[in-house]
């Protein structure tokens, strides 16, 4: 696998540690994550984003390809996409379609050739018809989001290339919680896909009102829902009323895209999941940096404040109310997965009437990224969650607590230890 490594990442660790930019102070440990001036440096010796070996689904698949233990078949219509989705266990029905030109290969995107995004709880795969490569981002257990491309060439063995430099120009900012992460953007776009930056935009998550989500995206399965999707402005008159371009979706099946679907249910999950992954990365990085400085009091304060953001997001505090969306085959399949308690309840069960989840606690608590958090970070999150749940400050608090005790062993152990003390 080819890797692009900035020169700064080659700085000796002693020199990095001596750099005051790497030092976390007491003043940096207070307040919500979004309001802090200090951001965790990717090159900090406790992080080593550019230099440490990755442990993610794409790196493992790349090694299997190199060892001859896996292969990817090339499809005439869509290249390596079908085989890649199957190898990474990403459901085809998760497809989301964005017609705004907002990615590395923006010149290939338009309402007639949208960028198709497929995802599961670890990986997002982006495909554009006739574009030179497939884009992949994956949640590494410790390093956060890692970015790769796969060339769409049938005459060369398929291998992944890590693209940290180019991708982090956009994917490392305060919008991604100050760490390498994903950006789920809502923007105003024209009939050719051109983004009108002066009209503004947002980075939606589950707290964002539906009317402000999905600008520049196609949306299906949302009849009667007021949202910003499926609307394109005229290139020569952006003040004119937007055009509904949803009818163009009928042209996609058979043109290299598996379907013309871009389900609202999948959008809702994507909105939640992208920021959840960013927050898990942030508290993990903060924990590793604070603990590396050997200041227990500083680490405790920082993680307690981080945990407020992470746990409250995980428990859907301040979730925007939903208008009912369609329970599509994808949504039904998603609801059926994941662990269950004795009553058949689970955190992946969707509501889709007034809220996203029937039992509002993020299913990302079962992810590799959550389990790989430093113990101090995980315990800080659990402590905040227990406070919220025991006080009945979140919806379905009793049910969520009971589900977690049965299905998440580390949460059960935390509760038992807390009770014993």
For the chain, the first-to-last Cα distance in angstroms comes to 49
Q: What sign does the dihedral 361-367-373-378 (CA atoms) show?
A: positive
Length of the chain: 421
Tens-binned pLDDT, residue by residue, of the chain (421 aa): 544 333 333 333 333 345 666 788 888 899 999 999 889 999 999 999 999 988 899 999 999 999 999 999 999 999 999 999 999 999 999 999 999 998 889 999 999 999 999 999 999 999 999 999 999 999 998 889 999 999 999 998 999 999 877 777 788 888 999 999 988 899 999 999 999 999 989 999 999 999 999 999 999 999 999 999 999 999 999 999 999 999 999 999 888 899 999 999 999 999 999 999 999 999 999 999 999 999 999 999 999 999 999 999 999 999 999 999 999 999 999 999 999 999 999 999 999 999 999 999 999 999 999 999 999 999 999 999 999 999 999 999 999 999 999 999 999 999 999 888 7
Burial class (CB in 10 A: 0-12, 13-18, 19+), 69: exposed
- Region for residue 256 given its phi and psi (left: phi exceeds 0; alpha: psi -120 to 50; beta: otherwise): left
Using alpha carbons, list the distances in angstroms from residue 389 to 317, 339, 364, 384, 400: 11, 20, 18, 9, 8
Q: H or E segment at 402?
A: helix 397-407
CB within 8 A of 67, min separation 6: which ones?
none
**Tokens encoding 12:** 């000796």
Q: Give how far the C-alpha of residue 405 lies from the chain's centroid of Cα atoms, to the nearest Å.
A: 26
In 75-99, which positions are buried (b, 16+ CB within 10 angstroms) versus exposed (e)? eeebbbbbbbbebbebbebbbbbbb
HSE at residue 321, side-chain half, CA atoms within 13 A, is: 2
- The Cα–Cα gap between 95 and 100 comes to 16
The structure tokens 């990302």 sit at: 364
- The Cα–Cα gap between 414 and 421 comes to 11
- The Cα–Cα gap between 404 and 365 comes to 9
Contacts 24+ apart (CB under 8 A), 247-252: 248/111, 248/112, 249/97, 249/218, 249/220, 251/112, 252/97, 252/114
pLDDT attached to residue 333: 97
Q: Where are the domains of the chain?
A: 270-420
Using alpha carbons, list the distances in angstroms from residue 293 to 17, 29, 287, 337, 361: 10, 13, 10, 41, 32
Grouping H, G, I as helix, E, B as strand and the rest as coil, residue 102 is coil
- The Cα–Cα gap between 124 and 269 comes to 12
pTM of the predicted model over 0.85: yes
- How many helices (H) and strands (E) the chain has is answered by 11, 10
Using alpha carbons, list the distances in angstroms from residue 155 to 79, 84, 111, 151, 166: 11, 17, 30, 10, 26
What is the per-residue pLDDT across 301-355, written as a single tens digit (0 to 9) for each? 999 999 999 999 999 999 999 999 999 999 999 999 999 999 999 999 999 999 9
**Tokens encoding 112:** 């007639």
- The Cα–Cα gap between 281 and 248 comes to 38
Burial class (CB in 10 A: 0-12, 13-18, 19+), 383: middle
pLDDT attached to residue 17: 45
């Amino acid at each position: 696998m080819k890797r692009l490594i900035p020169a700064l990442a080659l700085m000796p660790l002693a020199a990095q540690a001596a750099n005051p930019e790497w030092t976390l102070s007491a003043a940096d440990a207070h307040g919500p994550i979004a309001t802090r001036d200090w951001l965790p440096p990717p090159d900090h010796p406790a992080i080593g984003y550019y230099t440490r070996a990755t442990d993610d689904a794409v790196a493992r698949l790349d090694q299997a390809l190199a060892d001859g233990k896996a292969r990817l078949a090339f499809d005439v219509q869509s290249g390596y996409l079908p085989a890649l989705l199957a190898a990474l266990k990403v459901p085809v029905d998760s497809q989301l379609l964005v017609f705004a030109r907002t990615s590395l290969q923006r010149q290939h995107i338009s309402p007639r050739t949208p960028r198709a995004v497929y995802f599961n709880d670890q990986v997002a795969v982006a495909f554009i018809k006739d574009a030179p490569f497939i884009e992949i981002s994956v949640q590494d257990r410790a390093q956060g989001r890692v970015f790769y491309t796969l060339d769409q060439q049938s005459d060369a063995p398929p291998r992944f290339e890590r693209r940290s430099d180019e991708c982090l120009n956009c994917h490392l900012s305060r919008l991604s919680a100050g760490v390498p992460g994903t950006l789920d953007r809502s923007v105003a776009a024209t009939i050719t896909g051109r983004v009108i930056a002066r009209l503004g935009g947002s980075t939606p998550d589950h707290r964002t009102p539906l009317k402000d989500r999905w600008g520049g995206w196609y949306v299906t399965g949302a009849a009667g829902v007021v949202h910003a999707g499926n609307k394109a402005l005229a290139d020569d008159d952006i003040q004119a009323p937007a055009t509904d371009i949803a009818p163009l979706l009928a042209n996609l099946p058979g043109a290299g895209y598996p379907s013309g679907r871009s389900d609202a249910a999948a959008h809702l999950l994507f909105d939640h999941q992208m920021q959840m992954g960013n927050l898990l990365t942030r508290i993990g990085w903060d924990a590793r940096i604070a603990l590396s400085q050997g200041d227990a009091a500083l680490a405790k304060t920082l993680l307690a404040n981080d945990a407020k953001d992470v746990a409250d997001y995980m428990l859907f505090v301040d979730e925007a109310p939903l208008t009912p969306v369609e329970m599509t085959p994808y949504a039904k399949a998603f609801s059926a997965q994941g662990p269950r308690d004795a009553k058949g309840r689970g955190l992946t069960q969707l509501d889709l009437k007034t809220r996203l989840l029937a039992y509002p606690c993020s299913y990302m608590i079962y992810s590799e990224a959550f389990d790989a958090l430093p113990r101090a970070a995980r315990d800080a999150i659990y402590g905040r969650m227990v406070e919220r749940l025991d006080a009945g400050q979140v919806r379905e608090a009793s049910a969520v607590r009971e589900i977690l005790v049965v299905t998440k062993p580390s949460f059960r152990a935390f509760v038992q230890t807390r009770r014993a003390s």
